[in-house]
Structure 1
Amino acid sequence: MNGWQIALAVLAAVLVALLVMAIVSPRRFVRLPFRILLPILYRKRVIGLDNLPREGGCVVISNHLSWIDGILILWMLPRNVRFVVDGGNFTHPIAKYLGDAFDTIFMTGNPKSIGRALRAGRKALNDGDVVGIFPEGTLSRTGQLQAFKAGVTKILKGTEAPIVPMWMEGMWGSIFSFSGGKFFFKWPKQFRRTLTLYIGEPLPTKTPLEIARTRVQSLGARANIDQRKHYPILAKRMIRVWRRRGSELQAADSLGTEASGRDMLIRTLALRRTLAREVFSKDEQYVGVLLPPSVGGVVVNVALAMDRRISANLNYTVSSDVVNHCIREVGIKHVLTSERFMSKLDLDIDAEVVLLDSLAKKVTKMDKAIAFIQATLVPAWILDHVLGLSKIDGDDLLTIIFTSGSTGMPKGVLLSNANISHNVDAIERAVKLDTSDTVLGVLPFFHSFGYSVTLWAAMALGPRGIYHFNPLDSKQVGKLSEKYGVTVLLATPTFLRGYLRRVKPEQFAKLDAVVVGAEKMPKELFDGFEKQFGVRPVEGYGATELSPLVSVNIPPSRSSAVYQADRVEGSVGRPLPGIATRVLSPETGEEMLAGEDGMLMVTGPNVMKGYANQAEMTGKAIQDGWYVTGDIANVDDQGFIHITGRLSRFSKIGGEMVPHVRIEEELAKLFSEGDDDDQLRCCVTAVPDPKKGERLIVLHLASEKDIDTIRKGLSEAGLPNLFIPSRDGFQEVDAIPMLGTGKLDLKGAKEKAADLTQSPSSTA
């Protein structure tokens, strides 16, 4: 027998063996090609494998980002998993064979099929099998964890099987996920990606569904924390984004400045070089920035990032004492500003003030020439090394943002490159900002939302950024929006009220998405804005300590939801990808069920590194990796967060907790009844009371409304007597105390109330 005959015989024997295996042991036959192919395409890690019971029945539940999640989990686990799947996807004979090979439990939409699948699942658990469920019931279109369907609890009924939470990390961006807004027909973002399966501790059979969901979500947050150093370094990202923009407009402002992507990069590199030579010492870390939202403000912040320095955008709406407190807190030596802007401020700065107007004269022809060459000719990866950007670690600080000081002196929040980069990535997934967008930046850069979103996200994700220094200047906002075709507006309800009164509908003609935060959005403002401009705003939620974004409702025009809602009005949305929340009882620390109010806790790669020089305060704010927000909230059965108040915005009266926000909601309706604008007319605070602990005070603008009628209206709205301020608790003021960020000034309101009632005030 010659060589080719031997080879043919061997091949025939192999084929026969495979055929026999396909008939006798379908599972081994199907696993064989997967065991060969998947290691070529992916690297795998399993964390917490000891949490998977080695024997006996259990239900594994996991997030669902890609079409092949089930195959991947089967590849990564040592035990076979009998997945409950939609039988409609397995009608082809080959697909049916593959499913049968792993004893898959098929289920279709009709009641009989559902009943059979549930019975099969229970039998499998009682027989000691592992049953797998993707409880969201559909693939996530954003990476956010959606609501869990009740099938998990139904299968567990009548069994004692534990629930094993899991999280698959690494498939977002693959051709099998919905990244980029579509499945399959796209280039994968990376080849031979690393997949990590996180397995949590088993939960008792009767664990409430919402608690099981929280455990899965927490594993997702842990995965993203572990992966935080893989988020793009934003300074490096800007080089590539601005180069791609080229000669097209990248940024403009109300000062008349317009700059292309190439212009932005050249200016930034030239400024970086000049600052390093003329201003900074080699070891200088923190640099103060005192500039409004503008093209210049963007250039300065990015230049500092490219020079590996830590920016500290200072609040120019507060007193010199507060600004200098911030400067001392981190040892700022230089504050960058402009002569034109500084002349408008009544500030005495305890640091060396660097006027960028004067510094511009020190930019040499050599600086400009080198910046041009770097921006246009030097390959980006080489430029990364030349600038030292390759040395930046995700945990290195990018900025320090000082809190608003609404309840006391501002605290310096230390935010890393990974903190801000995660926010940018989450915005890209959820809100889908891209090169077709134009973002209006009216939020100051000393505000975490303005810094992370209107500066970094707007620049790094490719939209054009249009900036104006005064968010209350409605006429200029309207003009800029019309001139540049603004599509995305980020604001607060206070700012929207002004736009309703002074912006013409045609000026917001191209407006496509409006996201608001910082304060509760009343329904009347939702309705009024949509009626006038044809766009219904959505609410989001965040905190400076969280970089700042936690959650957002998806704007209707950006929604890709299928089968599950991604927007619930009255909520602040679901947590963004990589972020987990839970609600704990302030008294017992017990985790609350769906709809139950408690302290909102947040974890994820967005949690700050800490407060500057405040180790004790940091320890109180971050507990076991969870940030204590101070907000009272509940999470509904769909996973949407509802903020019902802030712990500091409750008064303890006669032993009962009285929410200020709930009273304000009803007062707003009563004070504005019959008026056609949405002006903020009142706020609720409290002063000490010797008998009941505290007394409610309403600060309100001048009104023809009768106070007794207002109090009667509160009662008719169903508020308990304890929630209704006394008649002398209503105090007229010239203006409601507000911060420059558009938030209510809680400290100022409390002090004003104390002055008006001659009661001693207390500050946090």
Structure 2
Amino acid sequence: DAEIVSLDKLKEKVSLADKVIAALQATIVPSWLLDRILGLNKVQSDDLLTVIFTSGSTGMPKGVLLSNSNVSHNVDAVNRAIRLNTEDVVIGVLPFFHSFGYAVTLWAAQTLGPAGVYHFNPLDSKQIGKLAEKYKATVLLGTPTFMRGYLRRITPEQFKNLDVAVVGAEKMPADLFDAFEKRFGVRPVEGYGTTEMSPLVSVNIPPSRSAAKFQPDRVEGSVGRPLPGISAKIVSPDDGTELDADEDGMLLVTGPNVMRGYANRDDLTKTAVVDGWYTTGDIAHIDSDGFLHITGRLSRFSKIAGEMVPHVRIEEELGKLLSEGDDDDQVRVCVTAVPCDRKGERIIVLHLPTSQTPDSLREGLKAAGLANLFIPSADSFYEVSEIPLLGTGKLDLKGARDRAGELTMASC
């Protein structure tokens, strides 16, 4: 029953008189008076600014309530980390329904001084390359999935002015750092965040923007240190006790960017945020220098015969095996699990059509050094016509789990 307002229709209602009045207000009317005319003087920092829905990769999407101060803190954090200036041109390709795109490519780009150049489809590499070349883009923010597409379809000439590339939303494959730098002369840095944290929690500082002289501010493989004002700790998923440096456990974060809560779901809010600390659902550790290392999501581990088996580790190796000799950037495999009475869970592999047999893929996993417990059985490989993906390019984990259940009928 929500009213839908289409922006392309709305623009037709803006008359010449509206434009003239707006121009006069912007150039002649004092800012303090304009604040009062527009009612901006009544806006409070804790007022609701937006509702951003979680991706729903692991279940039903939740509406995250973010205030003015939540997003304002993130804008300030971007300014400190990336040090955007009036000489920068930010390529905005992340969708605004995604918190990364909303807070960074929309608000940070519009308030910190750089120019912003936008395109609605992050997968349209051809057009993005043209825009980057035409407007001399210096800053690119995206996901590893999108970056692979740019790597294959955008020329070095089109990205010749690129100075900063920041990736988030999913883990950056190790080979992508080298490949991107080799082609475009810019080494990407990785950051981390969640919609509930508005979204940035931490980021590695791009080499060209680093002011560090006496300590590192970038460690590849990590997602950087928590941004100013944000605290992080690692606790045991079993009993909640705080763990030491380099010990994997559940990541909890707190700071002024913690959401106001979930829309109409106080029950979920009370579970997610306890004493001001947000439970991320991510398994991670903090090294002795304070850098965060994300191991995976709790939902992306299976407990088999008492051991925690990481889906991402299996997925990474299978991805290498399945992409050998191919030149495209398709997501070819997804690892998930179904219930199993005998072992608790059973690892399931969904993959695109391939000439390789399950046995050859299992041998490849063994050659990569994976433990026997990590290697799915031959009857756990299922060929599918497409891998379940969300609009952001991330794996649709719930969709993959449901599909695996259909294929196996949850048998073991």
- TM-score under structure 1 normalisation? 0.53
In the alignment, structure 1 residue 641 sits paired with structure 2 residue 292: yes
Q: Percent identity?
A: 69
Task: Report the counterpart of residue 626 of structure 1 in structure 2.
Answer: 277
Looking at structure 2, the residues matched to 538 and 388 of structure 1 have their Cα atoms a distance apart, in angstroms, of 40
* Contact map agreement 1:518 1:742 (CA 8 A) in 2: no
Looking at structure 1, the residues matched to 408 and 58 of structure 2 have their Cα atoms a distance apart, in angstroms, of 20
- 1:578-589 matches, cutoff 5 A: 578-589=229-240
Task: Report the counterpart of residue 178 of structure 1 in structure 2.
Answer: none
* Contact map agreement 1:494 1:742 (CA 8 A) in 2: yes
- 1:470-619 matches, cutoff 5 A: 470-619=121-270
Looking at structure 1, the residues matched to 72 and 317 of structure 2 have their Cα atoms a distance apart, in angstroms, of 39
Query: Once structures 1 and 2 are overlaid, which stretch shifts more, 452-461 or 647-656?
Result: 647-656
Q: Which of the residues 21, 28, 53 maps onto 1:377?
A: 28
Looking at structure 2, the residues matched to 719 and 637 of structure 1 have their Cα atoms a distance apart, in angstroms, of 27
* Contact map agreement 1:525 1:678 (CA 8 A) in 2: no
C-alpha distance after superposition, 1:450-481 (max 9, x if no partner): 10000000010011111111111111111111
Deviation at 1:692, TM superposition (A): 1.3
Task: Report the counterpart of residue 4 of structure 2 in structure 1.
Answer: 335
Looking at structure 1, the residues matched to 123 and 20 of structure 2 have their Cα atoms a distance apart, in angstroms, of 40
Looking at structure 2, the residues matched to 440 and 509 of structure 1 have their Cα atoms a distance apart, in angstroms, of 14
Deviation at 1:376, TM superposition (A): 1.0
- 1:108-507 matches, cutoff 5 A: 333-338=2-7, 355-357=9-11, 360-361=12-13, 363-507=14-158
Task: Report the counterpart of residue 653 of structure 1 in structure 2.
Answer: 304
Deviation at 1:654, TM superposition (A): 2.3
Looking at structure 2, the residues matched to 368 and 482 of structure 1 have their Cα atoms a distance apart, in angstroms, of 31
Give 5+ residue unaligned stretches, structure 2. Answer: none
Report the AA paired with residue 424 of structure 1: V
Q: Secondary structure at the match of 1:551?
A: strand
Q: Which of the residues 743, 747, 755 maps onto 2:394?
A: 743
Query: Once structures 1 and 2 are overlaid, which stretch shifts more, 746-755 or 598-607?
Result: 746-755
C-alpha distance after superposition, 1:697-729 (max 9, x if no partner): 111122233322221222232222111111111
Looking at structure 1, the residues matched to 16 and 331 of structure 2 have their Cα atoms a distance apart, in angstroms, of 52
Looking at structure 2, the residues matched to 705 and 574 of structure 1 have their Cα atoms a distance apart, in angstroms, of 41
How many residues were matched structurally?
411
Looking at structure 2, the residues matched to 365 and 464 of structure 1 have their Cα atoms a distance apart, in angstroms, of 26
Looking at structure 2, the residues matched to 379 and 561 of structure 1 have their Cα atoms a distance apart, in angstroms, of 40
* Contact map agreement 1:497 1:679 (CA 8 A) in 2: no
Task: Report the counterpart of residue 52 of structure 1 in structure 2.
Answer: none
Looking at structure 1, the residues matched to 122 and 207 of structure 2 have their Cα atoms a distance apart, in angstroms, of 24
Looking at structure 1, the residues matched to 180 and 19 of structure 2 have their Cα atoms a distance apart, in angstroms, of 46
Report the AA paired with residue 499 of structure 1: Y
* Contact map agreement 1:602 1:629 (CA 8 A) in 2: yes
Q: Secondary structure at the match of 1:507?
A: coil
Report the AA paired with residue 171 of structure 2: K
C-alpha distance after superposition, 1:426-450 (max 9, x if no partner): 1101110111110111111000001
Q: Secondary structure at the match of 2:268?
A: helix
Looking at structure 1, the residues matched to 205 and 331 of structure 2 have their Cα atoms a distance apart, in angstroms, of 26
Report the AA paired with residue 452 of structure 1: A
Report the AA paired with residue 576 of structure 1: L
Looking at structure 2, the residues matched to 369 and 666 of structure 1 have their Cα atoms a distance apart, in angstroms, of 60
Q: Secondary structure at the match of 2:5?
A: strand
Q: Secondary structure at the match of 1:535?
A: coil
Query: Once structures 1 and 2 are overlaid, which stretch shifts more, 493-502 or 647-656?
Result: 647-656
Structure having the higher Rg:
1
Report the AA paired with residue 457 of structure 1: A
More helix as a share of residues: 1
Q: Which of the residues 338, 341, 364 maps onto 1:687?
A: 338
Looking at structure 2, the residues matched to 677 and 371 of structure 1 have their Cα atoms a distance apart, in angstroms, of 48
In the alignment, structure 1 residue 758 sits paired with structure 2 residue 409: yes
Q: Secondary structure at the match of 1:381?
A: helix
Q: CA RMSD in A?
A: 1.5
Task: Report the counterpart of residue 706 of structure 1 in structure 2.
Answer: 357
Task: Report the counterpart of residue 287 of structure 1 in structure 2.
Answer: none
Task: Report the counterpart of residue 84 of structure 1 in structure 2.
Answer: none
Looking at structure 1, the residues matched to 301 and 358 of structure 2 have their Cα atoms a distance apart, in angstroms, of 22
C-alpha distance after superposition, 1:396-427 (max 9, x if no partner): 11101011111222111000000000000011
Looking at both structures, which has the greater relative contact order when contacts are Cα pairs under 8 Å and sequence separation is at least 6? 2
Task: Report the counterpart of residue 86 of structure 1 in structure 2.
Answer: none
Q: Secondary structure at the match of 2:158?
A: helix
Looking at structure 2, the residues matched to 622 and 651 of structure 1 have their Cα atoms a distance apart, in angstroms, of 25
Looking at structure 2, the residues matched to 732 and 704 of structure 1 have their Cα atoms a distance apart, in angstroms, of 11
